[in-house]
Chains A and B, each alone.
Chain A
Amino acid sequence: MQNVLNGIPLWWYLVVSSALFCIGLYGTLARKNAIALLMGVELMLNAANINLIAFWRYLAPASSGGLAFAAFVLVVAAAEAAVGLALVISVYRATRSIDPEKLDKMKL
């Protein structure tokens, strides 16, 4: 028997978050646009949040640890989005392109 809350077993949430995570992962790896790449990252972070909140609710709703963790993830995601987009714009200004494949200076 699994954890059931109002008829929804925990694992439903987990499956959804896994799927969302994988979709976001695909977006990050396979897109030719840097902004789309960042969008994928955001989806991944959201999936992580869903996971966290689901586990908090089902396993330890009384403690605040899960919530705190989720909150931190939220904040970091925002900050990271800001910086990432700033970088994209900066790169776009310099190279007139936001194709991640063109940015290949990170090698020997």
Chain B
Amino acid sequence: MSHESITTLLWLAPLPPLLAFAVIALFTNRYRQTSSTIAVLSMVASLVMSFVVFFNVWQMKDLGKKPIGGQIGWLPTGETVLNIGVVVDPLGATFLFMVPLACTLIFIYSVGYMSADPRYTRFFAYLSLFAGSMMGLVVSDNLLTLFIFWELMGFCSYSLIGFFYQKPSAYKAAVKAFMTTRVGDMLLLLGMVYLYAQTGTLNFHEILRNEEVLKSLAAAPAVLGLGISAAGLIAILIFGGTVGKSAQWPLHVWLPDAMEGPTPVSAMIHAATMVSAGIFMLLRFFPLLVASGEHGTAFTLVGLIGAFTAFLGATIAVAQYDIKRVLAFSTISQLGFMVAAVGIGAYVAAAFHLLTHAFFKALLFLASGSVIHGVEHGHHHVSHHGHSGHAGHSEHEHDAHDGHGHHGDHPHHDDDQAGHAFDPQDMRNMGGLRHRMPVTFATFLIGGLALAGFPFITAGFWSKDEIFADAYYHGLVKGDGLATLVFVVLVLSALMTAFYTMRQIAMTFLGQPRSEAAAHASESVPSMTFPLIVLSVFALFIGFINIPKDFPVFGALVGDGAYWLKNFIASMLLEKPEPLAFNPVPVLFSIGVALGGLALGWYVYARNPLQAGQTDPVEKLPVFNFLANRWYWDELYRKIFVNPLQAIADNYSRVVDKNVIDRILEGGYALGARVTRGFAEFDRVVITGFSDAMGRLFRGLGDWGRELQTGQVQSYLLSGLVMVIAILVFFLFLFQ
């Protein structure tokens, strides 16, 4: 296929979902079937186009050096023109494979999941807009359009998180998400501006594959001094955007609350696409990080934040009861893994883990949605048949609680309110679901094992192992302090990951049902289970695209396919990363933490599964409350940032606005009224008075004139005489 055709497909690929958004929003808003069909078909169209592009370029050797794309001049800026365009390079191609596939599956899933919601069409409109924006971001060849789509996704995230907008928790979560990512976006914008000021362009290829540009950015000192180069500052600012969008510490607080949105949204936004976009951008700017110094400030910052976030997320996830919250913190943790990988320079490992994570995390979220649906079905089944107990009592509250269809999600803080309203997302209400929902169980198990990094057969193992190998090599072999720290932290986090994954699986599926609802749960419809199955296939086998060449058994098994991803993506960088020689130590660590964590979880939760009402052993930990309340970061931010601003805003409204500004305005009105009255007076007295006086004057003259004509002889004589004398004198004395 010719390069022009590929470029055309790149231009066209984001369009179908965007058009679907417009069509649904404007025209088919009232027709559910039509809207969802349009949305799904548009996504399929986009998928087809993306796949065509991918399968045309996946075997190109130097795609990184010579990416395929096209530009148009868009923004005239003085003497130059800012070009925007599309490009497909190895990194973009990888995303072109993953993103539309995940989105299509989620769309299909949503048809079943959201079927009972009255605002079904609105959901698909927003979802289409979101998918279109993500596609647009993936094909963008410059930072400006990337940012535009970035912001557009932020808006969609806000709309979708706050989809159930009657619930205060939902719209508050939406605002929190928007505000928090805004902080990151501002840093990104600053970085973008600075970059443009330094280089005069925003095109990725022109900046990031251009030796001279990178060297000059590295040589120039940062505008604030700070001891780093311009490249470093720009990289840090751009990383700020990643911190916001990909929920790294300190801007991680929005992601758990974002679970207020419908589950497909959680799957899509917070697993497959939006949070990946942050890492995607960071990967694109990897050359800039390199230019700012191999062991420079930028890398260090990235690595530290990534490692800490990985640890933070894992520890909190251990103490959560809500099935979606566990996955949310798990996402935060796994993103931390990727960021840490970038921080130690493991470019390919980070990209690899991003790819695998998208699949198995989306799978886990969708499966959890299936679980929630099943438990809710069971709950209704119970209440319809009039069973006693909590179920009957809480059904009314349950209905009053959501008020928008039976299958609304029930986001809840992680408090233990099993006695009050029934929470279908609380794992303590589940149990024994492996018999009632076998497909969901199987797929969830696969996803969970992938997350934990079960050796060899799950994709998660291979990508995590890659990170460990890089960290171990750079850290303990070559002696880089940051890499060592990253290695240790990530190992601990991986251990906890496996543990809480097993905890989650055991509590949800194993043992006996702990509630009536769980006892009557039913498997979900095929439109929901089909995507689960497809995703689990990927969760198992996608890992084989980057097996190390020297890996025992498996390396020989794939033969030339070893390190396929690395070879493909490597051309993105100016310096080809050298493949590491096989070292069994990190592999053993990978296997050890995975199996060890899973075994520990099995021991605690699966051997003697929890009964109803039994307290979770995890609560016995002294740090339980600290972990359950998410290390109190939300409260801290509220105290430092939100409350003072709120107070200022209230005060401003009360004092300044009402007193000062309103008084000024009222004074202005009064003054204006007085001026107007003054003018009216002036008009009345002077102008009208003047014209009246003129009238009176002329009438007086007329009256006087009229009186001259008395009709009396003598009077006429006198008048005549006066006139004559006047004329006589005039002529006598003046004209001679």
Contacts and interface: CB of A to CB of B under 8 A. Distances in A.
B388 interface: no
Interface in A91-108: 100-101, 103-108
Contacts of A37: 713-714
Contacts of A100: 712-714
Interface in A25-49: 25, 28-31, 37
Contacts of A101: 712, 714
A99 to B, nearest CB: 9
B157 to A, nearest CB: 96
B709 interface: yes
Interface in B698-733: 709-714, 716-718, 721
Contacts of B717: 28-29
A29 B714 contact: yes
Contact of A29 (B709, B710, B711, B721): B721
A36 to B, nearest CB: 11
Contacts of B710: 104, 107
Contact of B709 (A25, A30, A103, A107): A107
B480 to A, nearest CB: 123
B724 to A, nearest CB: 11
Contacts of A104: 710-712
Contacts of A31: 714
A107 B711 contact: yes
A103 B712 contact: yes
A105 B711 contact: yes
Contacts of B721: 25, 29
Nearest to B709: A107
Nearest to B715: A101
Interface in A63-105: 100-101, 103-105
Contacts of A105: 711
B707 to A, nearest CB: 10
A29 B714 CA distance: 5
A97 to B, nearest CB: 13
Contacts of B711: 103-107
A107 B709 CA distance: 6
A30 B710 CA distance: 15
Interface string A8-32: 0000000000000000010011110
A66 B464 CA distance: 152
Contacts, number: 31
Nearest to B718: A29
For this complex, into which size category does the number of interface residues on chain B fall? 10 to 19
For this complex, into which size category does the number of interface residues on chain A fall? 10 to 19
Nearest to B713: A100
Contacts of B716: 106
A20 B67 CA distance: 131
Interface string B60-93: 0000000000000000000000000000000000
Contacts of B714: 28-31, 37, 100-101
A73 B721 CA distance: 21
Interface string B494-509: 0000000000000000
Nearest to A107: B711
Nearest to A108: B709
Nearest to A34: B713
A37 B715 CA distance: 12
* Residue among B709, B710, B711 facing the most chain A CB atoms (10 A cut-off): B711
A100 B716 CA distance: 11
Contacts of B713: 37, 100, 103, 106
B711 to A, nearest CB: 3
Nearest to A28: B717
A101 B717 CA distance: 12
A54 B709 CA distance: 39
A103 B710 CA distance: 9
A37 B717 CA distance: 11
A105 B710 CA distance: 8
A28 B712 CA distance: 12
Contacts of B718: 29
B272 to A, nearest CB: 106
A101 to B, nearest CB: 5
Nearest to B717: A29
Nearest to A32: B714
* Residue among B713, B718, B721 facing the most chain A CB atoms (10 A cut-off): B713
Contacts of A29: 714, 717-718, 721
A29 B710 CA distance: 14
A62 to B, nearest CB: 30
Interface string B651-666: 0000000000000000
B280 to A, nearest CB: 105
Contacts of A25: 721
A23 B709 CA distance: 25
A62 B633 CA distance: 144
* Residue among A29, A105, A108 facing the most chain B CB atoms (10 A cut-off): A29
A29 to B, nearest CB: 5
Interface string B371-405: 00000000000000000000000000000000000
Contacts of B709: 107-108
* Residue among A37, A101, A108 facing the most chain B CB atoms (10 A cut-off): A101
A29 B712 CA distance: 11
A37 B718 CA distance: 13
Nearest to A31: B714
A25 B717 CA distance: 10
Nearest to B710: A104
A69 B222 CA distance: 125
A42 to B, nearest CB: 15
B326 to A, nearest CB: 114
A103 B713 CA distance: 8
A106 B712 CA distance: 7
A107 B713 CA distance: 11
A25 B714 CA distance: 10
* Residue among B709, B710, B714, B716 facing the most chain A CB atoms (10 A cut-off): B714
A23 to B, nearest CB: 14
A37 B637 CA distance: 118
B729 to A, nearest CB: 15
* Residue among A30, A37, A106 facing the most chain B CB atoms (10 A cut-off): A106
Contacts of A103: 711-713
Nearest to B708: A107
Interface of A: 25, 28-31, 37, 100-101, 103-108
Given A28-B717, A30-B714, A101-B714, 19 more contacts: A25-B721, A28-B714, A29-B714, A29-B717, A31-B714, A37-B713, A37-B714, A100-B712, A100-B713, A103-B711, A103-B713, A104-B712, A105-B711, A106-B712, A106-B713, A107-B709, A107-B710, A107-B711, A108-B709
In the complex, the 10 A-B pairs of residues with the closest C-beta atoms, listed nearest first: A104-B711, A107-B711, A107-B709, A106-B711, A104-B712, A101-B712, A100-B713, A29-B718, A100-B714, A29-B714
20 contacts: A25-B721, A28-B714, A28-B717, A29-B714, A29-B718, A29-B721, A30-B714, A31-B714, A37-B713, A100-B714, A101-B712, A103-B711, A103-B712, A103-B713, A104-B712, A106-B711, A106-B713, A107-B709, A107-B710, A108-B709
